[in-house]
Amino acid sequence: MDALVQECVCVRGKSMKNSSTAFKAVILAGGSGERFWPLSTEENPKQFLRVFGGESLIRQCAQRLKSVAGEKEVFVVTSKRLVAATRSELPELPLTNIVGEPMRRDTAAAVALGVSLVAPGEESASSDPVIGFFSSDQMVLNPAKFIKTLKKAISTARRSEAVVTIGIKPTFPSPAFGYINPSNGAFVEKPSSKKAANYLKKGYLWNAGMFIARASVFKRAFAQFAPELYPLSIKPFSPAARKRFYEKLPKISFDYAVMEKYGNVKVVKGDFGWDDVGSYGAFDKYFPHDAMGNVREGPCTVVESEGNICVARSARISLLGVKNLVVVTTPNAVLVADKSRVSEMKKLVGSMK
């Protein structure tokens, strides 16, 4: 925290950051709970899973950010129905730091709400904090490197009009992520696998949805490129007014609404073991395997079966002569999917609605 500590001033005996230079972190915690269904559900989405790394992903995220922003300056924008669960998961945050959206309107609205949550009113030279937005359900294997990278991004954001994004150094040509051209900050949509390989050659980075800028920069960007969201970015609506406002909003991502249009994007390269933990494939990555290549969690009997992911959260699972399946049981549901098809979980969950 070297750079930040230098800028701290003491007020009434407490160490506080000067608000013009303070950093405030906003965790975006939406999530529909589809990708890890039935472990995750609408009421218990991915960020609450304790599967990876012992603690929930949102708690791990908050821990990383608290070490940079301080406990009182970590905020969460989540959906209304998840406010209580989020408060339980992050009891150390001030209650008012966790705010619920009345309905899902994608990340542009969530970012706008986050900006007014942490920086209501007009900015001035002495009151223009740097705000960072982060997803609640990503994994970072090397938090120390993450923090170092984040500080660099904060520092860049503080002394410019840029929206700074942390672009992840790709480990393989994934078609599941958007990419960023680090030389000009241009965002590109999720590519084909072939195009992705080409992007890697060109040094493009993964878009991990991390955005860092001064409050005033966010607000001006909304005013210019997403004027329908601008009011939400400057004033903290009452819950009733917020609901009325949201009802009229389009569903649009911050990438699409702002980042793809904003002229001053700076990219800080991140290489801290980032993973979006986007599907059951992550179990293969982070859990030990038995001699037949099966991952087991909970009571599983495995006979002449290989390459399966077997997660028993209720009754014992018994496998006989099967390969490359994902088998998950909870008290409410049983999933049996081909491992190569887990990216299509939304299709399955959708078909049940």
In the structure encoding, which two tokens stand for residue 59, read together? 């708690």
3-state secondary structure of 227: coil
Our CB check for a second copy shows the closer of 118 and 312 to be 312
Considering only 13, 54, 288, 331, the residue that binds a second copy (CB under 8 A) is 331
Residues from 287 through 316 that contact a second copy (CB under 8 A): 301, 303-304, 312, 314-316
As measured in angstroms, the least distance from the Cβ of 117 to a second copy is 37
Q: State yes or no: residue 333 binds a second copy (CB under 8 A).
A: yes
Q: State yes or no: residue 341 binds a second copy (CB under 8 A).
A: yes
- Residues whose CB is less than 8 angstroms from the CB of residue 27 and which lie 6 or more positions away in sequence, other chains included: 58, 61, 62, 65, 74, 75, 76, 77, 134, 135, 136
Our CB check for a second copy shows the closer of 131 and 327 to be 327
User: Which amino acid, 120?
Assistant: P
- The residue assigned the tokens 């959906």 is 79
Stretch that binds a second copy, among 85-93, 170-178, 196-204, 324-332 (CB under 8 A): 324-332
As measured in angstroms, the least distance from the Cβ of 100 to a second copy is 29
CA 1 vs CA 7, 68, 150, 349: distances in Å: 10, 6, 10, 43
Q: State yes or no: residue 335 binds a second copy (CB under 8 A).
A: yes
> Contact at 8 Å (CB) between 90 and 59?
yes
In the structure encoding, which two tokens stand for residue 106, read together? 């994608």
Our CB check for a second copy shows the closer of 96 and 351 to be 351
Question: Rounded to an integer, what distance in angstroms lies between the CA atom of residue 113 and that of residue 73?
Answer: 15
Q: State yes or no: residue 238 binds a second copy (CB under 8 A).
A: no
As measured in angstroms, the least distance from the Cβ of 137 to a second copy is 21
As measured in angstroms, the least distance from the Cβ of 281 to a second copy is 14
> Contact at 8 Å (CB) between 311 and 283?
yes
- Host H or E run for residue 218: helix 215-225
Would you put residue 70 in left (φ > 0), alpha (ψ -120 to 50) or beta?
A: left
Q: State yes or no: residue 338 binds a second copy (CB under 8 A).
A: yes
> Contact at 8 Å (CB) between 114 and 26?
yes
A 10 A CB-CB count for 92 gives 12
In the structure encoding, which two tokens stand for residue 190, read together? 């999720």
Considering only 6, 96, 126, 332, the residue that binds a second copy (CB under 8 A) is 332
Our CB check for a second copy shows the closer of 168 and 300 to be 300
CA nearest to 115, candidates 237, 12, 204: 237
Q: State yes or no: residue 330 binds a second copy (CB under 8 A).
A: yes
As measured in angstroms, the least distance from the Cβ of 104 to a second copy is 23
As measured in angstroms, the least distance from the Cβ of 326 to a second copy is 8
Q: State yes or no: residue 348 binds a second copy (CB under 8 A).
A: yes
- How many residues make contact with a second copy (CB under 8 A)? 35
Q: State yes or no: residue 334 binds a second copy (CB under 8 A).
A: yes
Q: State yes or no: residue 347 binds a second copy (CB under 8 A).
A: yes
Our CB check for a second copy shows the closer of 38 and 132 to be 38
3-state secondary structure of 252: coil
**Which residues of this chain interact with a second copy, rule CB under 8 A?**
38, 301, 303-304, 312, 314-322, 325, 327, 329-338, 340-342, 344-345, 347-348, 351-352
